[in-house]
Structure formats: C-alpha cells, structure tokens
Amino acid sequence: MISQLLGFIPRKCLQFELIRKEITIIAKKSFETKTLQKLADEEYIELNPAIASKMSKISRNLYKGQSVAIFTSGGDSCGMNGALRASVRMAIYLGSQPYMIREGYQGMVEGGEHFVKAKWSSVSSIIHLGGTIIGSARCAEFMQREGRKKAAFNLVQRDINRLVVIGGDGSLTGANIFRQEWSGLLDELLAEGKITTQQREKYVDLHVVGVVGSIDNDFCGTDLTIGANTALHRITEAIDSIASTAYSHKRIFILEVMGRRCG
C-alpha cells in the first residue's frame, strides 16, 4: 500500500507540473493578443479637445498658490472621513492650501478657529473611522442671506473661493444657492468697505465641488452615495438580531429606519 502511494505522488506532481507549464504558455500567448496591447488611436472614444486638454493637465502643483476649503455638513455618514482625507491630500498634491472648516456651515459663518489649515498628517489614521472628525452642524443662520454674507467674508479673508462640500441634499442645495449669490454678496461687502476692490476682482466666482455623503441614497447621478452601503448593512444586522426575539415570543416586530423619503 505504501509503495503504491509513494508511486502515486510523483505521478500527481508530474501532472501538476505539466498543467503549470500549459498555463504559462497560454499566458505568454495572451500577451501577444490585441486585448492586452495598446489600442489603436481610432479605437479610443473621441473626447472634446477642451476636456482632453484639462485631463492632461492634472499634474503636481497645478493649482499652486490657490486655497480650497473642505467641510462636512448635515447628517453624518460613514465614509465622510475617507472623502475628507482624499480631498485634503489631493489638494496638497495639486499645490493648493487646504482648509478644513469645523462644524460645517456654522463654522463657515462664525469663522475664527473653525478654519483649520490642513497638512498631509492632519488626515492620517482617519479613513477607518465613522462619522466626521471635523464635525457637522445644521446652521439656521446660513439659511439667511446675511449669514451667507458672513460666510463669504470669512472665505475671502483667507483667499478662498473654492469649496468641497461633503453632505446630502440640504448641504448641496445650500452650496448651490451660495454659489449663485456669490457675486452679489461680494458687491455688498465691497460697498460696506469690508473687502477691497482687488479682492472683489480676484474672487469673481465661487467654485464648488459636491461630494454626496448621505445614508439616504437619494441623489441622482450616482448608484450609491457615501454612507448608504454601511447604513444598509447596519439595518440588516439589526433585523437579523431582532428576528430571534420575534421568533421566541411569536410576535411581529416593526422596525423603523431613517432615510428621508427613502426610509
């Protein structure tokens, strides 16, 4: 029996070696196929020349000397810290000075210590944390034009006219209104003598990037918003946990979940 077994093992090893060689040969041949080679120019999707030009210019220090403010607003969602980290580090890579605004729109209106200059290390070891390390708050004052004027003043004083908004429907709607009113707000600040003519001419427009951070998953243009996947997992875990109690007591449990109009 032992001799038969010892004779069987080398034969099996030989078979495995032959299979390995066949796979290696197939892999080498596949590198010669068209699928793994550079496609011909005519097979690429034709891009608008202006867009292609901008895409080719995404390089280190492209926006050197510029400033950008990043903040989280509204209800927190898991993944906001990851978005914050990516935004800060990409801004640094592009040569910009990133600012983190604590407590969302409330911090933008109040100014002062709510504006924090960010470094590469400022967002280290946060990607795995839930919620947002810079805080989030709803701001009734920002809903009024006077509050938005205060926010515009605080931004201009720090040479900022670029925003990255990480939030849901209300946060992004507020950012869009702020963008539309920006020119008028600066005209009022200039008339009141709070900013100079040079500042008014330098910061003509407000540039906004919206990152949808919301457990509601109710935003068009994206299959899954930041935080929605984690929220669904937590819901299914809670349902699985409570089901055993329902079976034990022969009762029907109704579980309510959040999610605006989607919940």
Q: What is the pLDDT of residues 174-198, one digit of tens each?
A: 999 999 999 999 999 999 999 999 9
Going by C-alpha positions, the residue among 164, 262, 259 that lies closest to residue 208 is: 164
Q: What pLDDT is recorded for position 20?
A: 58
Cα-Cα-Cα-Cα torsion 208, 226, 102, 205, nearest 10 degrees, comes to 0
* Contacts of the segment 178-181: beta carbons below 8 A, 24+ positions apart: 178/148, 178/151, 178/152, 178/206, 178/208, 179/206, 179/208, 181/145, 181/148
C-alpha pair distances (Å), 122 with each of 65, 92, 164, 205, 238: 19, 11, 17, 28, 34
Distance CA 88, CA 41 (A): 35
pLDDT category of residue 59 using cuts at 50, 70 and 90: confident
C-alpha pair distances (Å), 84 with each of 30, 53, 73, 89, 122: 41, 27, 12, 9, 10
* Kind and range of the H or E run holding 187: helix 169-191
- The structure tokens listed for 60 are 């280190």
Q: What is the pLDDT of residues 6-24, one digit of tens each?
A: 444 444 455 556 655 665 6
pLDDT category of residue 256 using cuts at 50, 70 and 90: confident
Higher pLDDT, residue 131 or 37: 131
Name the 3-class secondary structure at 105: helix
Q: Which of 76, 216, 218, 240 is catalytic?
A: 216
Q: What pLDDT is recorded for position 224?
A: 87
Domains of the chain listed by start with CATH number: 56-212 (3.40.50.450)
Range from 16-30, 88-102, 206-220 that averages highest in pLDDT: 88-102
Let me know if 216 is a catalytic residue.
Answer: yes
Q: What's the whole-model pTM score?
A: 0.73
Q: What is the pLDDT of residues 192-205, one digit of tens each?
A: 999 999 999 999 99
